A and B are shown apart, each in its own frame.
Chain A
């Protein structure tokens, strides 16, 4: 299978949608002339023209809101934010409009819109540019949220997101844009709401998603070296969360550590933890261990930032603390 980087996988998903569906268009800040802050849409303006590739003013809530209107009228907009942190500026439109319109209109209005945004810390951008608000949006009824960790998942999830008739947030781990992985030439999609068991094992389950898969996979490698059989689950979707897959795994391994690259408090893994203790406590040999980045504003200085971020040692420490492995 050919190997490509995650950025290319996203690009392929967007490009084929633009080619195959005239209702699809992309808008965002500096996605056209400039080529996109992370170069995902580089070359698109030349290929598809100004009608399909719209550079916007720096007015996040206005262009996100315009995306909602265009979607309500039957188009399929893809709206890019330069950073997940900037979605905060448009939260009112995302939550009050995009997510609520179908319900408030008694099912009359659909908002088939994709919101794309790079997420996560790790490159010293400081507190305002490093946040992961996909964890907040994942709790909003009416939204779907996905977060890929591999090029294969990025393409498959992007295809599903664009075809979906709901607002879908695609959280793109910024540190993974250059990550390589195998992507087949044959067409495939990845169903939103289904987790992926990326490694099968019998002693302990590690659950994460997005950039959190890095420390989890590193920790799994270390544990395997110690003779521990590790099952790893990549959530892929944060809304809805595939609790069935997690519970099924826990019933097998009786041990679980859930890992978030975002800040520990609140968020997706808090949900997973709470649901697990209700649904699977009798299967567990110890507490649901939760790992996340430190609950402080993201610091700039490299040493501080690296210390705040979840890493493999944090995961191993939780495994040891919870289950003595």
Chain B
């Protein structure tokens, strides 16, 4: 099949637009913005950490130290980091199989996350979950789910419990455009809406479900947020390459949910710069399309803008990089040096 370089969802510089009452606009990068220097540097640190972690994953996959399927988040860092930065400790985060970025943004231990990918006893799931099934209940990170759209009702149930317990905590559920043609996507939207659940549906629309462009597999174009009108769920679109725009859109949605307004929906247009998994040769798309998006790489553009705007110094950025590089190297070493799970572990954790 001929590769297509055409995309009706070109990378754009627009910050966000909204449907229904999902009104939001990014203040962007200026001195009067809500994000202070420390926050900006932390956002950058997390994005850079995810990027370096993923690069290390790819490297160790090539070495055969990580096996199974490995789906990297490279290119999508601004979405998870921006959205998760708006949460509280008592909120839940639910992800799909491309979960490393969300896990790290939620503060999962870098060493234990890497050890899980290496299948080691020190991993977050003691080596029983792997790349697609990261969990840290103490941090409210409820997985890591590898059946497409399967995590949506789980997230609704977590939100149901938060509502049931009369808290103002919420659940954020990440999913990709690939999940939107599953029945569960529609079933869960309906359920969340009729029960007014405290849930933020966060669609990371990276334009491809594995090797299928959404233009090929979805009737109705590349925009999903207008469809939320069907369920009466307020929905906004945001530039997923702009971490501050994502953060701001998420803050607005989170505030509404805590206010008791029920489910909210954000669609971030984003892009993975790499294949679906490490087994993907990307024959289904042209490199020009990838390059176009790479020009807007948040891990590169965000620190550059911070320096340009005088919100961070080159030294500060370099310091962040150095500490992250060290942390990732330490994590790989930790994972390599960690013991394999005992064979007796096979029978543990099947039943309570």
A residues near B123, Cβ cutoff 8 Å: 106
Contact A70 B164 (CB under 8 A): yes
Tell which of A25, A67, A101 touches B143, judged by Cβ atoms closer than 8 Å: A101
Bound state CA distance, A59 and B182, in angstroms? 13
Interface residues of B in 175-192 (CB under 8 A from A): 183-184, 187-188, 190-191
A75 proximity list for chain B (CB < 8 A): 160-161, 164
Task: Indicate whether A71 reaches chain B with its CB closer than 8 angstroms.
Answer: yes
Determine, out of A91-99, A173-181, A219-227, the stretch whose residues face the partner at the interface.
Answer: A91-99
* Bound form: Cα–Cα A62–B154 in Å: 8
A63 on the B face (CB < 8 A): yes
B158 A102 Cβ-Cβ under 8 A:
no
Contact B164–A108 (Cβ < 8 Å): no
Please indicate the chain B residues that have their CB under 8 angstroms from the CB of A166 in the complex. Answer: 351-352
Known: A102-B352, A109-B142. A57 touches B164 (CB 8 A): no
Quick check: A165 and B150 within 8 Å, CB to CB? no
Whether A68 is near chain B, meaning CB under 8 Å from some CB there, is: yes
Q: Which residues of B contact A72 (CB under 8 A)?
A: 142, 154, 157-158
Query: Is B17 positioned at the interface, with any CB of A under 8 Å from its CB?
Result: no
Are A107's CB and B157's CB within 8 A?
Answer: no
Does B306 reach chain A (CB closer than 8 Å)? Answer: no
Bound Cα distance A70, B127 (Å): 25
Does A74 belong to the interface (CB within 8 Å)?
A: yes
Query: A56 CA to B147 CA in the complex, in Å?
Result: 23
- Indicate whether B40 reaches chain A with its CB closer than 8 angstroms: no
With A106-B349, A107-B348: A57-B191 Cβ-Cβ less than 8 Å: yes
Contact residues of B between 188 and 216, Cβ < 8 Å to A = 188, 190-191, 194-195
- How far apart are B230's CB and chain A's nearest CB, in angstroms? 14
Residues 29-82 of A contacting B (Cβ, < 8 Å): 51, 54, 56-57, 59, 61-75, 77
Distance (whole angstroms) from the CB of A45 to the closest CB of chain B = 15
> Is B106 in the interface zone, CB < 8 Å from A?
no
A69 to B195, CA, bound (A): 15
Expressed in whole angstroms, the Cα–Cα distance for A166 and B145 within the complex equals 19
Instruction: Check A105–B154 contact: CB distance below 8 A.
Output: no
Q: Which of A93-143 contact B (CB under 8 A)?
A: 93, 96-97, 101-110, 112, 141-142
- The answer on a CB contact under 8 Å between B157 and A61 is no
With a CB–CB cut-off of 8 A, which chain A residues contact B187? 57, 59, 61-62
Contact of B153 among A63, A105, A141, A142 (CB under 8 A): A63
Q: Are B350's CB and A69's CB within 8 A?
A: no
> Which chain B residues lie closer than 8 Å to A106 at the CB level?
123-129, 135, 349
B174 at the A interface (CB under 8 A): no
Establish whether residues A65 and B349, one from each chain, have CB atoms under 8 Å apart when the complex forms: no
Q: Return chain A residues, CB-CB under 8 Å to B247.
A: none
Tell me which of A73, A104, A105 contacts B162 (CB under 8 A).
A73
Q: Which residues of the partner chain B approach A74 to less than 8 Å between Cβ atoms?
A: 161
With A61-B187, A106-B128 already in contact, the answer to whether A69 and B161 are too (CB < 8 A) is yes
Contact A96 B147 (CB under 8 A): yes
Tell me whether B159 is interfacial, beta carbon within 8 Å: yes
Give the shortest distance, in Å, between B221 (CB) and chain A (any CB).
25
Q: Which residues of B contact A69 (CB under 8 A)?
A: 142, 153-161, 171
**B133 contacts chain A at the CB level, 8 A cutoff:** yes
CB of A242 within 8 Å of the partner chain: no
Residue of A54, A66, A72, A97 with most chain B CB atoms under a 10 A cut-off: A66
A197 to chain B, nearest CB (A): 25
Residues in B with CB closer than 8 Å to A7 are: none
**Any A CB within 8 A of the CB of B246:** no
Residues in A neighbouring B168, C-beta threshold 8 A: none
Q: Is A263 part of the binding interface, using a Cβ–Cβ cutoff of 8 Å?
A: no
Closest residue of A by beta carbon distance from B351? A166
How far apart are the CA atoms of A55 and B144 in the complex, in Å?
A: 29
A164 in the interface (beta carbon within 8 A) = yes
Chain B, Cβ-Cβ closest to A89: B183
Contact with A along B118-151 (1 / 0, CB 8 A): 0000011111110001011100001111010010
Contact with A along B22-41 (1 / 0, CB 8 A): 00000000000000000000
- B92 at the binding interface (Cβ < 8 Å): yes
**Docked pose: A101 CA to B134 CA in angstroms:** 11
A25 and B164 in contact, given A102-B349, A102-B352 (Cβ under 8 angstroms): yes
Give Cα distance in the complex from A93 to B164, angstroms. Answer: 22
- A186 CB to nearest chain B CB (Å): 27
- Say yes or no: B351 contacts A65, CB within 8 Å: no
In contact, B191 and A103 (Cβ under 8 angstroms): no
Nearest first, the 3 closest Cβ-Cβ pairs linking A and B are A69-B157, A65-B153, A73-B161
Mark B residues whose CB is within 8 Å of A: 92, 123-129, 133, 135-137, 142-145, 147, 150, 152-162, 164, 171, 183-184, 187-188, 190-191, 194-195, 348-352
Given A57-B190, A61-B187, 15 more pairs with CB closer than 8 A: A54-B195, A57-B191, A62-B156, A62-B190, A66-B160, A66-B188, A69-B155, A70-B158, A73-B157, A75-B160, A93-B153, A97-B145, A104-B135, A104-B143, A107-B348
Chain A contacts to B: CB under 8 angstroms: 25, 51, 54, 56-57, 59, 61-75, 77, 92-93, 96-97, 101-110, 112, 141-142, 144, 164-166
Sampled A-B contacts (5; CB under 8 Å): A59-B190, A62-B187, A64-B153, A104-B144, A108-B125
